[in-house]
Amino acid sequence: MEDLFPDEDLACVEEEECKDWWQLYFDGATNQRGYGVGILLITPEVLYLPFAFRLEFQCTNNIAEYEVCVIGLEAAMVLGIKKLKVYGDSSIVIYQTQGKWKIKDEKLKPYQEHLEGIIKNFEEVTFEYLPRVNNRFADALATLASMVECSSDTQIQPFLVDKRCELAYKELVNVLTVDGKIWFAPIIDFNRERRYPEQFPVGEKKRLRKYAM
């Protein structure tokens, strides 16, 4: 009986250690329409927080990748995240940050120095190379941002990505919560009026403040 699950204790320790870790996926896109970067933050509770930015200045693909990595780390720092796993499909950014590759391009050195300063704000942070085929969410966000032209005062509100398993005339679109409100209504209410939903637990209040930020 003791040999059936020899690594059970180790598995429990690993799960306990990973429960406070956030994940950050980043990617940059450069094309004829412009420059865009995409960020996907995943909370320990597996809540997806997507961000996309259009870069209004000339840059190379490597600069776009460094830009999005810096933006993602700064966003995580503002949210008060202490443990972060960073994934990107840019070998330049990942391996230079890991110290495996040396920086030869003078334009990239300021980015690397800035990254080193940001990293000090985290208790633990890791960087891991991820093939583009496994980084499609961030890649899609970056491509979307590079293709969409908008003015400086335009802000696109959060959008919901959900699955549709039935034809449109067979299934109603469900964008509401149990109480009949849009799923992100508490975030809007907090930003506008600084109020929490009734009977909101203390832990949920703290999480809501982070998401609203």
| pLDDT digits 0-9 by tens, 77-125 | 988 899 999 999 888 899 988 888 888 888 888 888 899 899 999 999 9
* pLDDT reported for residue 73: 93
pLDDT for residue 138 is more than 80: yes
Exposed / middle / buried, residue 5 (Cβ in 10 Å: 0-12, 13-18, 19+): exposed
- Is pLDDT of 15 > 90? no
For the chain, the average pLDDT equals 79
Run of H or E residues at 41: strand 34-42
Of residues 179 and 114, more confidence is placed in 114
pLDDT grade for 160, boundaries at 50, 70 and 90: low
Instruction: Tell whether the model's pLDDT for residue 21 goes beyond 80.
Output: yes
- pTM of the complete model: 0.68
Tell me what pLDDT residue 86 has.
95
3-state secondary structure of 23: strand
Measure the CA–CA gap between 110 and 71, rounded to whole angstroms: 14
Task: Average the pLDDT over 178-182 and give the result.
Answer: 63
Q: How far apart are CA 183 and CA 176, in angstroms?
A: 6
Residue 8 has pLDDT above 60, yes or no: no
Domains identified in the chain and CATH numbers: 8-147 (3.30.420.10), 157-213 (no CATH)
DSSP bridge pairs for 22: 84
Residue with token string 């450069």? 30
